[in-house]
Amino acid sequence: MIEAFTAEATASGTGQTIANANWAAAVLDNGLADYPAALAAARAATRHGDLFVTAIALPELVEAATRSGDHETARAALASLTERTEGSATPWALGVGAYARALVTGDESDHRAALDHLGATRLAPYLARAHLLYGEWLRRQGRKRDARTQLRTARERLADIGMTAFADRATAELRAAGEVVRGRTTGDIDDLTAQETHIARLVAGGATSKEVAGRLFISPRTVDAHLRNIFHKLGITSRRQLRELPGLR
């Protein structure tokens, strides 16, 4: 979807639209722990230095650069981000600035400051990621018990809001911290969005991804992406299990 969006924006010459796509790719790749790809996407998103996209892409650049071992890029991105966040001084800006700084400095007080600031906002994705970054840092410090507390919180919050890639990253960290992580118990159909429910009913009725795509005028790849979210929310792993759920047929 990002590739198609970028191609269309490139053809029309819409620079900020391309930057938005690059930011989305950076977020996705950071979630997937594909840090070299996230680094390239974040660099592209921040290349022109506009006020909006660069501001939200700089934290992705700091994270990707730090995890890729490009500390010079991470420090430069942090300096640019700090200039913006200190000028804004909102809880969101200060919180994101703090967890980006924690990535570069390794200072625990920065991790705690990020949680304090972001806890005062309604921006659940950033708070959940702050818990994840703190948990990852704690595990690397050998503080596995403390790490598990943060990582459990991160995994639960990320899963609840559908950030599956980041939730999987938290799961992997929990296992590395010595916790036996079981799959989610079967969820409730009411947890699905209206479109997810529609797709789930079609698939439960025997429709293929291609058939669902044709009915809804979307791509089969998009249908499969929705199915992954549906399976995750319902705690299942296959179409057969979906067909067996009560309330969908």
Domain ranges of the chain: 2-176, 189-244
Band the pLDDT of 182: cuts 50, 70, 90.
Answer: low
Q: Is domain 2-176 given the CATH code 1.25.40.10 in the classification?
A: yes
Note the pLDDT of residue 193: 85
- For residue 244, pLDDT over 90 is answered with no
Whether 2-176 shares its CATH topology with 189-244 is answered no
What confidence score (pLDDT) does residue 140 get?
95
Query: What would the pLDDT profile of 69-96 be if each residue is shown by its tens digit?
Result: 999 999 999 999 999 998 888 999 999 9
Among candidate residues 32, 63, 58, 28, the one with its CA nearest the CA of residue 46 = 58
| CATH architecture for the domain at 189-244 | Orthogonal Bundle (1.10)
Q: How far apart are CA 150 and CA 144, in angstroms?
A: 10
